[in-house]
């Protein structure tokens, strides 16, 4: 194993970054903690290419932390729609409100204080402190874990507490005395562009000469994969009701799956779809028929959505349900819909506008 105290490790990465690192990402070149924090939250579990357009739209709509804090959470969720891991958006909004209320609108500069804010863990707090306030602190995101596991031959799944503890100790021991901001960025860039999960570019890696995984021919084995287990299966029937111009949507509870987003009303089990539409949604439904099911995989379970479409007529004395709302077809693109729900709605509208019977007919 390489010597964890080898000063060449950080020097190699810093020298590589000057020539080959990423220098033109939208959130680089700034020490504004609002912009750095926003990018760090969006980049959790999400690729840079997917984040960039969301990041730019967020800053157009909320150019400052104060404007984000004062915005309705529904607007925040709408802009986040499609990016996934929606708790990030709820925490983002709540964090902005806390910074405004408890820190006079100024992001704290102490990593320990930053870490106490909603949705910010140790690695993200350290990254904000390093990039914005010149702190000397290590980070340990997915890219850095992969670089350290391979370069130092760390066994075990990085998400296991014992392995993660060892990685934190290693990451802190490798921090250079100066230039930590460039070094931290170099680690992230190397993991994102060279030391990738599959097909890494070892021939271009500045650590090739000191990499344990390369010398031991274990690049494909390190880091160890998450222990595999069968994902639980869930099935849910949902109503896709329309009146020719609008679709009926339901606001999800603020916590839990798709918390705070709009979705299609769920049908209870066992159910009578037409009866439920009348009782819970205040609609009479014509031409009710099942559409093609859609399977969506989450981190901890797999969900099969079985949509039922129908033409809805409002009942004359229907009780109002504050969680339900009618959304015009033309406004659906801006609605805060989870990705699988958006796919169901978009496919349905495409068939409806083409005059296809698939929009209302029963599928085989």
Distance CA 301, CA 280 (A): 28
Distance of CA 51 to the CA centre of its chain: 9
SS3 of residue 288 by DSSP:
strand
Burial of 347 (0-12, 13-18, 19+ CB in 10 A): middle
The answer to whether the beta carbons of residues 308 and 267 sit under 8 Å apart is: yes
Report the candidate in 242, 247, 240, 243 with the shortest Cα–Cα distance to residue 327.
247
Q: Which H, E and C letters describe 191-240, residue by residue?
A: HHHCCCCCCCCHHHCCCHHHCHHHHCCCCCCCCCCCCCCCCCEEEEEEEE
Catalytic site positions: 40
Helices vs. strands in the chain: H and E counts, helices first:
14, 8
Measured between alpha carbons, how far is 114 from 103 in angstroms, rounded to an integer? 11
Q: Name beta bridge partners: 313.
A: 284
Q: What CA–CA distance (Å, rounded) separates 56 from 37?
A: 14
Answer whether 73's CB lies under 8 Å from 81's CB.
no
Q: Residue 198 gets which letter from DSSP?
A: S
User: How many CB atoms sit inside 10 A of residue 338's CB?
Assistant: 22
Cα–Cα distance for residue pair 158/139, rounded to 1 Å: 14
Burial 144-161 (b: 16+ CB within 10 A, else e): bbbbbbbbbbbeeebeee
100 burial via Cβ count (<10 Å: 0-12, 13-18, 19+)? middle
The position carrying tokens 């349905």 is 348
């Amino acid at each position: 194993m390489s010597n964890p105290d080898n000063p060449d490790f950080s020097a190699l990465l810093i020298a590589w970054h000057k020539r080959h690192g990423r220098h033109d990402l939208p959130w680089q070149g700034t020490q504004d903690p609002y912009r750095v924090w926003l990018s760090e939250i969006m980049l959790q579990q999400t690729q840079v290419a997917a984040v960039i357009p969301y990041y730019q739209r967020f800053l157009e709509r909320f150019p400052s932390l104060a404007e984000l804090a004062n915005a309705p959470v529904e607007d925040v969720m709408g802009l986040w729609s499609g990016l996934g891991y929606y708790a990030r958006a709820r925490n983002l909004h709540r964090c902005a409100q806390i910074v405004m209320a408890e820190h006079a609108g100024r992001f704290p500069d102490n990593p320990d204080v930053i870490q106490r804010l909603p949705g910010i863990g140790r690695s993200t707090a350290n990254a904000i402190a390093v990039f914005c306030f010149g702190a000397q602190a290590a980070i340990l995101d997915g890219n850095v874990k992969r670089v350290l596991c391979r370069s130092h031959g760390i066994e075990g799944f990085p998400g296991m507490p014992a392995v993660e503890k060892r990685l934190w100790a290693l990451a802190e021991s490798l921090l250079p005395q100066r230039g930590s901001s460039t070094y931290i960025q170099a680690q992230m860039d190397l993991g994102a562009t060279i030391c990738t999960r599959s097909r890494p570019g070892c021939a271009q890696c500045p650590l090739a000469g000191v990499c344990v995984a390369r010398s031991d021919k274990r690049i494909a084995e390190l880091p160890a994969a998450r222990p595999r287990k069968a994902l639980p299966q869930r099935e849910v029937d949902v109503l896709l009701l329309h009146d020719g111009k609008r679709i009926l949507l339901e606001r999800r509870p603020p916590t839990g799956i798709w918390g705070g987003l709009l979705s299609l009303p769920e049908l209870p089990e066992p159910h009578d779809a037409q009866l439920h539409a009348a009782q819970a949604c205040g609609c009479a439904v014509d031409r009710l028929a099942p559409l093609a099911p859609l399977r969506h995989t989450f981190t901890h379970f797999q969900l099969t959505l079985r949509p039922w479409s129908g033409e809805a007529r409002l009942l004359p004395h229907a009780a109002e349900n504050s969680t339900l709302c009618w959304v015009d077809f033309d406004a659906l693109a801006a609605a805060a819909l989870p990705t699988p729900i958006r796919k169901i709605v978009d496919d349905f509208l495409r068939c409806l506008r083409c005059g296809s019977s698939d929009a209302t007919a029963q599928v085989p």
